[in-house]
């Protein structure tokens, strides 16, 4: 398949998309998708992967700060088991929480119905 050729369902090849990203953005996708638990890999990794191209430098800084937080805490906050501490309720955390609460959150794109 040629570079950026559309697949039958209209999606582009993820490898092609990542080739165009800066090293910082590629690194953030990797870190977000390799957290240590499958749940957070899917929730956080999916959120970052789908939005990474549109993030500003300041938003990338916010993502990096979120990725420094312990996996156990992030899982509890994103699942609603515990409230997010007030000092961590950043705009990026709120976006991540909203995305995690959406129906089908964490389902990989290749498993979603077209």
Task: Answer whether residue 37 shows pLDDT above 60.
Answer: yes
pLDDT-based confidence at residue 20 (cuts at 50, 70, 90)? confident
pLDDT-based confidence at residue 3 (cuts at 50, 70, 90)? very low
- How does pLDDT run across 7-17, given as a tens digit for each residue? 344 344 444 55
Q: What are the DSSP calls for the chain, one per residue?
A: --TTPPPTTSPPPHHHHHHHS-HHHHHHHHHHH-SSSHHHHHHHHHHHHHHGGG--HHHHHHHHHHHTS-HHHHHHHHHTSSPPPGGG--HHHHHHHHHHHSTTTT--GGGS--
Task: Answer whether residue 89 shows pLDDT above 80.
Answer: yes
Helix axes 57-67, 38-51, angle to 10 degrees: 180
State pTM to two decimals: 0.75
pLDDT on residue 13: 47
């Amino acid at each position: 398949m040629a570079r950026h050729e559309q697949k039958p369902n209209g999606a582009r090849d993820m490898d092609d998309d990542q080739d165009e990203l800066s090293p910082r953005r590629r690194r953030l996708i990797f870190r977000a998708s390799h957290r240590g638990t499958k749940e957070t890999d899917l929730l956080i990794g999916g959120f970052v992967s789908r939005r990474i191209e549109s993030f500003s430098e300041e938003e990338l800084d916010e993502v990096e700060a979120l990725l420094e937080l312990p996996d156990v805490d992030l899982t509890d906050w994103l699942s609603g088991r515990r409230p997010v501490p007030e000092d961590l309720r950043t705009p990026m955390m709120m976006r991540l929480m909203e995305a995690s609460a959406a129906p089908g959150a964490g389902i990989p794109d290749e498993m979603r119905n077209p």
